Amino acid sequence: MRRTPVRTLIAVLVAVAVVGWLVLRALESRGVYLPVVPWLVDVAILALAGVVFWMGWAVRAYQKGKRPSLDGIRAARTLVLAKAAALTGALLGGWYLAQVLVVLGDLAIEPRRDRAVAAGIAVLCSVVLAAIGLVVEKFCELPPSDKDRTSSEEGESPAPA
């Protein structure tokens, strides 16, 4: 499995932000307004980032020789969770960024400003989740084997971990 490219995460964030902005503008033109993003969303996103990092830290400790054993299935699940966290962070970041963009012109109105601030904090928390996902993916990367080293010395690209 290859690591998630940062370009992909940025593309997902931008695409969701654009589509979300269009949908939210259409809803608001019909008189439908979303509520302010609750602070519990931020706590939940950061808690998920903490769990992903904690699981990745165990894999990193094993790779550094500081942990005697680690189940291979747990390491694989940690990698999949890290990849999912990175993509989820990009998706959520795009959604909350769309909410910020919708109210950007109305920041003089206090409820709209509160909504922009709450959504902006959610964007930051989502970016943290995506970044933690990428870091944990790096933790789960296997060191190159002897076969990979010889093939890369001969000009071939190493096999993905």
**pLDDT value for 161:** 47
How many residues comprise the chain? 161
Rounded to the nearest angstrom, the gap between the alpha carbon of residue 7 and the centroid of all alpha carbons in its chain is 12
pLDDT for position 47: 98
Cite the DSSP H helix spans in 30-160: 39-63, 72-103, 110-139, 146-153
What is the predicted pLDDT for the residue at 122? 97
pLDDT at residue 17 in the model: 97
| Per-residue pLDDT, 151 | 56
| φ, ψ for residue 51, nearest 5 deg | -65, -45
The answer to whether the predicted template modeling score (pTM) of the entire model surpasses 0.95 is: no
| Residue 9 contacts residue 130 (beta carbons within 8 Å) | yes
Local structure of 86: helix, strand or coil: helix
Q: Which pLDDT does position 34 carry in this prediction? A: 85
What is the mean pLDDT for each group of 10 consecutive residues in the chain (161 residues)?
A: 90 97 94 90 97 94 83 90 97 97 89 93 98 94 67 54 47
